[in-house]
Structure 1
Amino acid sequence: MFLQTPAPSDAAQSLGGNSNAEAMKQMGFANLAHGFDWLGWVVFVTLVVMSFLSWYFIIANTIRNGLVKSRADGVINGFWNNPSTQDAIRELETQPKGEPFSKIALDAASAVAHHQQANKGGLAESLSRSEFVDRALRQAVARESLRLEGGQTLLATVGSAAPFVGLLGTVWGIYHALIGIAASGNASMSAVAGPVGEALIMTAIGLFTAIPALLAFNFFNRSNRVIFARFDEFAHDLHDFFATGSRVE
């Protein structure tokens, strides 16, 4: 006669289901911190700091670039449409401190005034007005371009590094799961649920940190290129105006 393995009773199935259900609850974010060791905390805090800094620069750069673009036409047209150069310069001086187009024009005007004051010395002989204005405009454009790029390096770093930081937490969580299996002698859900949940959540946090930073970096990179092109166009017109006394159309 063949021996038949007895089918598991409904009570045993219910008990196993309840056990698995309780184990699955350990995979939630609420229980994540309880299973952290020192490396888990380092990875988690690093990702949180990365996310906070990236969102800070995302919001700050969005506001800054929006203000620069909204004021650009008014500043440029206000300068060219003003019949008096002195009045135009005074209007530029009233612009906000962070407005770049006015600062470029003011640097060019300051270079012309400085060159005129030094006209009696040897400066005018060694450096023409055109060269003097050109140098001032190059420095102004470089300075304002550098200011607009603030936070770009951090966004690029977060976008590229955050997934690997999250991956470190993932690998560490899987390692804990294997340790739990070895310690308990079985691969039950209760032994691996916590560490596996930690690993999956670390992966998700790494991606949620990296994706916004990467998208923002690409967006601001494109937006800045458009503004830099306007810097160059305005600087060329300013050079022609201050070097020759009239704007070259």
Structure 2
Amino acid sequence: MKKLACLLSLLFLVVSSIRAQDQVYELRMYELEFFRPAEVLHSYFEDALIPALNRQGVSNVGAFEEIGESLPKKIYLLIPYKDITSFQNSSSELSTDEAYQQAASPYLTSGQDMIPYKRINVSLIHSTESFPELQVPADPGLFELRIYESHNEDALRRKLKMFESEFNIFEDAGLSMVFFGKNITGDQMPCLTYMLATADMEENKKGWANFVEHPQWKKLLAMEEFKNSMSDITRVFLKPLNYSQL
């Protein structure tokens, strides 16, 4: 009995260690104020925050702005932490990073009238076993961010399960998946979030046309298990800023 208990404890530690490696994505959306220049925010990202995150071991930080003329304008930041512990420790590490504090000083000491955003909306997204890590696309020009809401937790469970059979469809259709995961915080819960990358809008449209005609997608769409698993879609087209690492 004691040997069995030790074996179970060891198995738990191994599984916990594996699970701890699942990436956690912090998706920030900065809603900009009208008629305020955003240079102080861009400089903060480029010269202070992103280099400091890189020193923490966080790589491939994405920085984007929306395509189009929607108002208010928004800036998006995607931070892929290797696990939840890295996310939890990041803020305290920034507070003791002297290079960060110096580079961030123009932003951190700015008065209220100089801060270019009204609010920051933050979502945390946990990667899944079927798509565990962010994939850096080759020479992307266009990113598509999608949020799928479900009417309750079971519906989201079914939608997540449906996606396990969809990743190869995206690949076949010519739509590069950047990240995928289940939201664990945010204002559209319960939901999942993912990002696609293509060269341009024409390639995006072609990819989605291929996707909806894919025989595997039509089969999934007809399955009773996956019906009524999604209640709303948010779709945002983004272009990378010149300091983005994606």
TM-score per shorter chain, which class? under 0.3
Q: If the length of structure 1 is used for normalisation, what is the TM-score?
A: 0.20
Q: Which has the higher strand share?
A: 2
Please identify which structure carries the higher helix content.
1
What TM-score does the superposition give when structure 2 sets the normalisation length? Answer: 0.20
